[in-house]
Structure 1
Amino acid sequence: MNYTLHQLQIFLKITETNSITKAAEELHLTQPAVSIQLKNFQDQFEIPLTEVVGRQLYVTDFGHEIAEIAHKINNEVKEIQNKTLSFKGQLTGKLTLSVVSTGKYIIPYFLSDFLKLHQGVKLNLDVTNKSKVLKSLEKNEVDFSMVSILPEKFSIHNEELMDNKLFLIANKDFKITRKIYQPSFLNELTIIYRENGSGTRWKMERFFEKHNLKITNKLELTSNEAVKQAVLAGLGVSIMPLIGLKNELLNNELQIIPLKGLPLKTNWNLIWHKQKSLSPVAKAYLNFIKENKNQIIDTKFKWFEKY
């Protein structure tokens, strides 16, 4: 047998996507090039690695076993690369984070310079809902999580990053007729909620409880982006994090309704288990955050201070 590392990597991608076309797209290769490499790889085995039923490609049981071995080989090659960089004095390894969905507007700015500085570090970033973020933290699947409300049931360390402000938001057609509205005004509006488990929803509902509000007209959507689009379309108003509204506010597509008691404030935090032993990469990232967070906030989030 004389298969190449390139063929192993292409076959791995095919097994992940069950498609030569998708594998070609993700590998930035042409479809014929991937097909040729798959054929050359297959020619070295007497047992089929894949089969086509109808127009769908399937990986055979034998193909899956070969893919498992190929995956191990690929990981060993990556380890060789990491060891090489390590001996050259460069930081290497994986940094794994889980981030609540609204955090996608923040976390890239707290990662960019660190990854440029340490090019041997590979990032695994999962942007998802709060319950999944906390589950990954509980299962010790991540180095750090980023949340806007600290969990109560975990024993954690935290590093505060920056403020999170929540305002009442409407689209450009909403007519503001008062200098400031009382919280009871919300009873007259259709309120758009995030899903249960969302930190934004939790904070909003505590505000409603504090002011004895009984919201009857409401919609529920499953992401901050979906809520924003619904507000833009005029389906209702919502209490939303300022961090994801920069362009819409600057372009006058959305506006802030002045409501007594707002903005609500929380803090974005990087959190990790107290019992977790941080890897060298995780320790380096934490030190980077401590040393550079104020500069990042000053340079990337200056606009935030206007509201």
Structure 2
Amino acid sequence: MNYTLHQLQVFHTVSRLGSITKAAEELHLSQPAISIQVRNLQEQFEIPLIENIGRKIFITEFGQEIAEAAGRILQEVNAINSKAAAYKGELIGTLRITSVSTGKYVIPTFLTNFIKQHQGIELVLDVTNRSRVRESLEKNEVDFALVSVMPENLQVDEIELMENKLYLVGSSREEQDLSNFGKKILQNIPLIFRETGSGTRHIMEKYIKQKKIPVTKKMELTSNEAVKQAIIANLGYSIMPIIGIRNELKTGILKIIPVDGFPIQSRWKLVWLKGKNLSPVALSFVNYLSKNKEQIIRENFEELN
């Protein structure tokens, strides 16, 4: 067996992303270079690692086992490199974070100074849907996940970052007097929902269920941006995290509709698998957040309180 760490890294990335193209983008390599490395690794084994069906690739069961083993090997190599650098007073390695879609308004701010302080850290940040966030966490593919709804049936450790406040939001072009509806407002206006599995939708539906509000769903959209544009176009109203609509509120495109019992509140949390052996980079980031999160909130999110 003469496979290299580079081949294992490439194959692990292809397996994780399920795509040669996406692996090439993440590793900053050409697609032919990725294919060559996978082919060279395949030559070390008599059992197929990948099946090509049409234009799609599928990782075989044996390939999955090799990819998982490669992931463990790469983690150990990164740990060795980090420990060696630590002896020289440096902090190097990869910090992998996955975040639910609305978290894109939150996590970069908490990362900025940490990354600037440690130039040897490579950041991999995946902003995706809640189900994919949970999967990445469960498979131990990432160091941390940023969530506003805790993943079910997973034992995790956590560090709270900040409040997540959700308001009923409408277009500033809407001239209808909604005060007439009082507490029954949600059952008298067209509501726009995020897709099933969205953290924002989960919080929204939990509130509606707890209050026993009869709501007829009018529209379902797959991103916060799509919801914002639909509200701006005066297609309806939605319950949205204020963190994602700050600019629209400042410019007056959107407005908050006063409703008793609002805002709905949850918490943004950075979580990781309980018992996970955090790398020096990951552990350093946790310590950094513990010491600096309050100052970061004051300097960047004060108007949300």
Whichever residue aligns with residue 132 of structure 1, its letter is R
2:9 maps to which residue? none
Query: CA shift at 1:65, angstroms?
Result: 3.0
CA contact (8 A) 1:176 1:257 kept: no
Query: CA shift at 1:258, angstroms?
Result: 0.8
Query: CA shift at 1:176, angstroms?
Result: 5.3
With 259-268 and 287-296 compared, the bigger mean Cα shift is at 259-268
In the alignment, the residues of structure 1 paired with residue 154 and residue 277 of structure 2 have an alpha-carbon distance, to the nearest angstrom, of 16
Whichever residue aligns with residue 286 of structure 1, its letter is V
1:301 maps to which residue? 301
Question: Sequence identity, in percent?
Answer: 44
With 265-274 and 177-186 compared, the bigger mean Cα shift is at 177-186
In the alignment, the residues of structure 1 paired with residue 139 and residue 104 of structure 2 have an alpha-carbon distance, to the nearest angstrom, of 22
CA contact (8 A) 2:95 2:122 kept: yes
**Greater C-alpha Rg:** 1
In the alignment, the residues of structure 2 paired with residue 86 and residue 265 of structure 1 have an alpha-carbon distance, to the nearest angstrom, of 40
1:163 maps to which residue? 163
2:200 maps to which residue? 200
Query: CA shift at 1:205, angstroms?
Result: 1.0
1:246 maps to which residue? 246
CA contact (8 A) 1:181 1:260 kept: no
Is 2:39 the partner of 1:65?
yes
Is 2:222 the partner of 1:227?
no
Structure 2 unmatched ranges of 5 or more: 1-18, 44-69
With 284-293 and 274-283 compared, the bigger mean Cα shift is at 274-283
Q: Structure 1 residues 178, 227: closer, same or farther in 2, change over 3 A?
A: closer
Matched length: 252
Query: CA shift at 1:151, angstroms?
Result: 2.4
CA RMSD of aligned residues (A): 3.1
With 292-301 and 221-230 compared, the bigger mean Cα shift is at 221-230
In the alignment, the residues of structure 2 paired with residue 123 and residue 63 of structure 1 have an alpha-carbon distance, to the nearest angstrom, of 23
Whichever residue aligns with residue 131 of structure 2, its letter is S
Matches within 5 A, 1:109-120: 109-120=109-120
Whichever residue aligns with residue 65 of structure 1, its letter is R
Deviations 1:140-174, CA, capped at 9 Å, x for gaps: 11111110122231111111000000000001111
Deviations 1:230-265, CA, capped at 9 Å, x for gaps: 111111100000000011000000001111111100
Query: CA shift at 1:85, angstroms?
Result: 5.3
Deviations 1:99-123, CA, capped at 9 Å, x for gaps: 0000000100000000011111111
Q: Structure 1 residues 59, 291: closer, same or farther in 2, change over 3 A?
A: closer
2:272 maps to which residue? 272
Q: Structure 1 residues 91, 162: closer, same or farther in 2, change over 3 A?
A: same
Q: Structure 1 residues 249, 60: closer, same or farther in 2, change over 3 A?
A: closer
Is 2:209 the partner of 1:209?
yes
SS in 2 for 1:151: coil
Is 2:117 the partner of 1:143?
no
In the alignment, the residues of structure 1 paired with residue 37 and residue 203 of structure 2 have an alpha-carbon distance, to the nearest angstrom, of 50
Q: Structure 1 residues 290, 228: closer, same or farther in 2, change over 3 A?
A: same
CA contact (8 A) 2:191 2:237 kept: yes
SS in 1 for 2:248: helix
CA contact (8 A) 1:96 1:143 kept: yes
In the alignment, the residues of structure 1 paired with residue 291 and residue 181 of structure 2 have an alpha-carbon distance, to the nearest angstrom, of 41
1:124 maps to which residue? 124
Whichever residue aligns with residue 101 of structure 1, its letter is S
2:15 maps to which residue? none
In the alignment, the residues of structure 2 paired with residue 61 and residue 268 of structure 1 have an alpha-carbon distance, to the nearest angstrom, of 39
Q: Normalised by the size of structure 1, how large is the TM-score?
A: 0.73
SS in 2 for 1:260: coil
CA contact (8 A) 1:181 1:258 kept: no
Q: Normalised by the size of structure 2, how large is the TM-score?
A: 0.74
Q: Structure 1 residues 152, 180: closer, same or farther in 2, change over 3 A?
A: farther
Q: Structure 1 residues 278, 59: closer, same or farther in 2, change over 3 A?
A: closer
